Amino acid sequence: MLFLPPKKIKFRRWHKGKINSIEHRSKSTTVSYGILGLKALECGRMTTHQLDAIRKIFAKHRSFKKEQFWIRLRLTIPVTAKPREIRMGKGKGSVNYWAAIVRAGMIIAETGSNPNGFSILKKVSYMLPIKSVIVSR
105: left (phi over 0), alpha (psi -120 to 50) or beta: left
Beta bridge partners of 94: 81
Angle ∠(82,6,103) on CA atoms, nearest 5:
80
Q: Which domains are seen in the chain, by residue range?
A: 30-80+94-136 (3.90.1170.10)
E strand map for 1-137:
36-40, 44-47, 69-71, 77-81, 94-102, 107-111, 132-136
pLDDT of residue 22: 63
Mean pLDDT, residues 121-125: 91
pLDDT of residue 19: 72
- Predicted TM-score (pTM) of the model is 0.81
| The dihedral sign for the CA sequence 32, 132, 56, 65 | negative
Q: 26 vs 35, which has greater pLDDT? A: 35
Distance between terminal CA atoms of the chain?
30
Task: Order across the sheet with 44-47: list the strands.
Answer: 44-47, 94-102, 77-81
Amino acid at 121: L
Q: Is the pLDDT of residue 132 over 60?
A: yes
User: pLDDT per residue over 59-111, tens digit each?
Assistant: 887 765 667 888 888 888 888 899 999 998 888 888 888 898 888 888 999 98
